[in-house]
Structure 1
Amino acid sequence: MEQALEMIEKVKGKRRLFTITAFFTGLRGKELILLFRNWNSLRKKDFEEVEVIETGFIRRIKRSYLTMVPKQLAEQIEEWRCGDRIVENLCKEGVKISLFRKVHVAVLSKTMMPHEIDLLQGRLDSILVKHYVKHLREIAEKYWRAYKEFLFLFS
């Protein structure tokens, strides 16, 4: 956790927002790039303090159907044509996006069941996703309880 927070502190500007978003979503690098590039066209659902974003990113073997971010972070994100190599460039500076995926699991494990975390990490097939969509409000509340202590990162 401390290592992830130190990595965020290294980054400035729009790339910092990219890195903070990685911390709060646990998305893979390519999924983050798609999130920023398509931000204006992605469907979003507001659940009090949490914004649920329908990503629908389906690649050959990896997928992400939806993600969540605190509403305050969602308000700061804007569509941005970030480069294809942003993750590589951050890695060269010592910022490993893959670590944020592991931190995401650790943070959420305080309040969520493994299958709920799998939903946010894109490890469920579409049939199961449809089942859990019915419980999005509850999952969003659990997400908020897990992540609200980290709001200082973007204030």
Structure 2
Amino acid sequence: MRIVLQRVKHASVKVEEDVVGSIDHGLLLLVGVTHEDEQKDSRYLVDKIANLRIFSDSEGKMNLSVRDIEGSILSISQFTLYGETKKGRRPNFMAAAKPEHALAMYEAFNDQLRDIGLRVETGRFGEHMDVSLLNDGPVTIILDSKETS
């Protein structure tokens, strides 16, 4: 799994004109799934995201996690994170998981975040979405479950 994580002051997602997910202070996650992803990939990323110290403490140092600040998460499925651009001018998305596998992994990932007590809002899998955010910092980090060692 590959995730682009952004620390945000607020974020929301619309499908057509309807807001389907919205958070205040917390994290916006763009979540990509590839064919060989398993539950261990999801568990690794859930632990990393929940405990990553990227929020400022009272001295202005990045020393607090999303759990520490009681922040929320807006999770958006993003198959284009597995776009390959080495050849030609049109991205190849063959590394992205097929929709059935991607949906199961994405839902399990979000459920695991909820199971540890985080508030999670989502977009709609497979839909065209408009995502709005105010990046805080800016702080943007790329996480990949295949880069654990």
Normalising by structure 2, report the TM-score. 0.29
More strand by share: 2
More helix by share: 1
Name the structure, 1 or 2, with higher relative contact order (CA <8 Å, separation 6+).
2
Normalising by structure 1, report the TM-score. 0.28
**Larger gyration radius, structure 1 or structure 2:** 2
